[in-house]
Structure 1
Amino acid sequence: MFLQRFSFAFLFRFRSRFRHGQPDMKLPRTILGIETSCDETGAAVVADGRRVLSSVVSSQVALHSPYGGVVPELASRKHIEHILPVVRQALAEAGLKTGDIDAVAATQGPGLVGALLVGFSFAKAFAYAANVPMVGVNHLNGHLASLFLTDDPPAIPFVALLASGGHTAIYHVTGPVTSTLMGQTRDDAAGEAYDKVAKMMGLGYPGGAVIDNLAAQGDPAKYAFTRPYLDKAAFDFSFSGIKTAARRFIQEAGDALAPESPHIAAGFQEAVADVLCYKLVHAAKVKKCGHMALVGGVAANRRIGEKLRHAAKQEGLVVHIPPPAWCGDNAAMIGAAGFFQLAAGAEPVDLSADVYSRVA
């Protein structure tokens, strides 16, 4: 209820702002979201920043698996092939036509430049042809906005851990479009460490789900991984060392790797989960927030979710984790973030706007 009241208050401000001087701009209630930051071609239609009318994702996992990671050029080419069919499907599933869309939101960065250009350029063309505003969305803000697509979003303010293949960071979130970075990884992201360890063990790509499933069969205490907390009072992360430790255990296992793999996977995952959970709970205490959240692809990890819920219960905190559909890259979160940006008074982008690979 709080978020709904918050949303409509912003909508009133948005309507008042554009009532004079730009009469062609409509109240942005129905947003077409587009996401192509990496290897998922996504399109979605989101109403009022909260209600998903459709969400379509075309995955490239099968294409990149033989290479053990995403090949940027191949990803860009597949986005070109898939973007139009995916958008058409999203509109059809929502029961809408181009003229029913009030605004467009597309991922502007960070991500693979070639991949981003496909979706962002398509979004600009769509918005121009439909004569509707368009906003560029920071992919990381999109993940935070995924929480507002759930039936029970966290009470504002809250702290959020964003963990994925490319990012690991903790934010203090003070509104749908406002947050402060508290700490981030100094080297590998958590999801990147999962992928690299899985590749070392010959488990394939992506590594998150396969290590999670394999670890459930192992003993996390058999292989003693150190916990890379760095400074326990701070919020930065480092996962390069734990990746090196995994390589050492794998090499020592030698020909006996197959039977030892579940135990190595379990030890690795337990160490990562301990660090992520400790830092997020610590952030909630420091900021005196009763609510905390886990978003991004790693949020779909079973063990990390279990440990975080257990820690939250012990500390009297409420934890929020989006359903799996909103954890990975998707366009619904981009549509939601775009809605809140426009509602807060963000200026639409023009045709000269460009994408960016990193956040400064």
Structure 2
Amino acid sequence: MRVDLFDFDLPDERIALRPAEPRDSARLLVVDPNSTTELTDGHVRDLVTLLLPGDVLVFNDTKVIPAQLEGTRIRGDNIVPVSATLHMRTAADRWKAFAKPGKRIKEGDILRFGTGDDALDATVLEKGDAGEVTLGFGVSGPALDTAIATVGHIPLPPYIASKRREDDRDRTDYQTIYAREKGAVAAPTAGLHFTPELFELLDKKGIERAFVTLHVGAGTFLPVKADDTADHLMHYETGYIDAATADKLNDAKARDGRIVAVGTTSLRLLESAASEDGNMAEWSGNTNIFITPGYRFKFIDMLMTNFHLPRSTLFMLVSAFSGLDTMRAAYDHAIKTGYRFYSYGDTSLLKRKI
């Protein structure tokens, strides 16, 4: 499909630089492509009335690590500033990363992040396309995790980082309250809207929770530069679903409970793991699933997701889920009525187009 079909104009003032307070006070746009009333305005707390007993909210429990590294490239006496955004761990001592300035980095270069006793060195082992490199670090395993936490920063999305610097507040704001599995370099942002108080209300209603893990990579922010979706290359992300969770989700579907993916990352993992006949099983591995209109959804009934960038793979995904015309109308409504966009913005609850 032509990528320009997924383009739209977004006023700069619609980009949220801080989340709503409290988190569950954010606005929620309900999108039902199968109803004559396609769009309904509400708030995140309305999930208690919008969902039914027996429905299952599926959350991505990945935890954001401080994967933005700033330092220098060392090549003999030639030293220049560099930055690297880690996006996928490939071994105990290796990460794939997006490095800048990519053209000035070569295989064999030493990159030094931090200073003094806390400095962390990495060797450029491979160089790929679009600034991607494979870094081999001088320490591995938990020692590398500690070093990254010491010298790294929270990798705020570029549309926020271009407007303000990361601060201590982001270490809390850019993390879900249920995050536990370290490895993401971007937050599963639909989950940022949940609070302990909202969880308590959902529990009382009989709305269930399940947790899966997909370590979100920085590739989620890469623009689609191709003119046709068939020419876009998705980056891999690592995830897993345990057997108990798979059984819980299958049982819910068997009794007609709806599976509600909280975020596109949860959806992409579940759709990667589901069999063609719509069953879920224990799963682990890497996925680069790319969902565009025409995709047949195997497992998900509803999707809670924030508002995405124009021409992005995520806007393509929601257009596949609820229909391109419906989502273009929904985004037009959201822009005109003051919804806040992107990672710290408001959210939506989408029903799958039948």
TM-score by length of 2: 0.29
The structure in which a higher percent of residues are helix is 1
The structure in which a higher percent of residues are strand is 2
